[in-house]
Amino acid sequence: MNRRRDRKSVVYALSLLEEKTLSLVILESHGNLGIVRLNNGSTNAVNLDMIQDLSGALDRVKMDFKGMVLTGGEKFFSIGFDLPELLKLDRKKMGEFFYKFNQVVFELLTLPVPTCAAVTAHAIAGGAILMLACDFRIAASGRVLIGLNEVKLGVPAPYLPDLVLRQIAGDQVASDMLYTGAFLDSTEAGRRGVIHNVLPKSEVETKALERVSEIASLPMKAFSAVKANRVESICKRYNDNFRARNEQFLDCWFNDNTQELLREAATKF
């Protein structure tokens, strides 16, 4: 597959909350595949606007494409939650964001077409969560950090990605990552089964497109059924428990000690 972007690609600028000069998510058409690019500055911090845009992009993928690649920027796939913005919110507004974030992760996890995360830069916390919700994960070699460091900031990793990571990498690897909040480089993440392939940075997006294209050439109805089987147990557990687990996260988020840790972390944005 040609590494150069097709000049005839259709670029959809999605902005669902209000008219913006630049969308926080861009959807490109590559034949019957879509590339969704997170597009919120150098950090690709996750806020409500990005989540709204990403939800809209997933709706378009479901309608118009047979597969999808999710990718980010040169410095960060995504740094995770937009702490400077989210720390301004009261519990009601933060709850609205957090429930919507989890809903979009659920939409990505259950998208009835093959998906692949092309990770060429750090995928941290909420960024790692979006990566984990894809069917396949391909990362660049070198110093590309991947991890769920929420526990270090006084909050648990959200319930849905906790379930997903345990299915992907097994309980021991998931517990090591979630209990400590430690980051893995892409090579170590590959050894632990979190990442499918580790390649030179210049090859990551091309390989992701090839992987999705290969699956997308199969009968889609059969693939969708197989994927639904894979995520069925996760979806059931999440639907049964998400309200209590989400409220538990919010209880931790608004703890005084946690707020101090989060404010300190926000200074690094």
As a whole number, mean pLDDT of residues 119-148 equals 98
Q: What is the pLDDT of residue 119?
A: 98
- DSSP line for 134-169: SSEEEEESSS-EEE--GGGGTSPPPHHHHHHHHHHH
Structural domains for the chain = 11-266 (3.90.226.10)
Taking CA atoms, 68 is separated from 53, 154, 214, 216, in Å, by 15, 34, 12, 9
Residue 21 has pLDDT above 70, yes or no: no
For residue 238, what pLDDT band results from cuts at 50, 70 and 90? very high
Task: Write out the E strands in the chain.
Answer: 11-14, 25-30, 33-38, 67-71, 76-78, 115-119, 122-124, 136-140, 145-147, 184-185, 197-199
**Could you tell me which residue, 33 or 1, shows the higher pLDDT?**
33
At 44, phi and psi to the nearest 5?
50, 45
- Asked which of 11-25, 146-160, 237-251 is least confident by mean pLDDT, the reply is 11-25
Q: What is the pLDDT of residue 174?
A: 98
Residue 20 has pLDDT above 50, yes or no: no
At 175, phi and psi to the nearest 5?
-65, -40
Q: Kindly report, residue by residue over 164-201, the tens digit of the pLDDT.
A: 999 999 999 999 999 999 999 999 999 999 999 999 99
% of the chain beyond a pLDDT of 90: 91
The C-alpha atoms of residue 226 and residue 44 are separated, in whole angstroms, by 32
Residue 228 has pLDDT above 60, yes or no: yes
Q: Tokens 């480089």, residue?
A: 185
The C-alpha atoms of residue 8 and residue 97 are separated, in whole angstroms, by 36
Residue 17 has pLDDT above 80, yes or no: no
The C-alpha atoms of residue 228 and residue 109 are separated, in whole angstroms, by 10
Q: What is the pLDDT of residue 15?
A: 39
Query: 17 is written with which tokens?
Result: 């909350």
CA angle centred on 269, ends 204 and 92, rounded to 5°:
105
The C-alpha atoms of residue 1 and residue 20 are separated, in whole angstroms, by 33
Q: What is the pLDDT of residue 73?
A: 95
The C-alpha atoms of residue 181 and residue 157 are separated, in whole angstroms, by 9
**Average per-residue pLDDT for the chain:** 93
pTM reported for the whole predicted model: 0.92
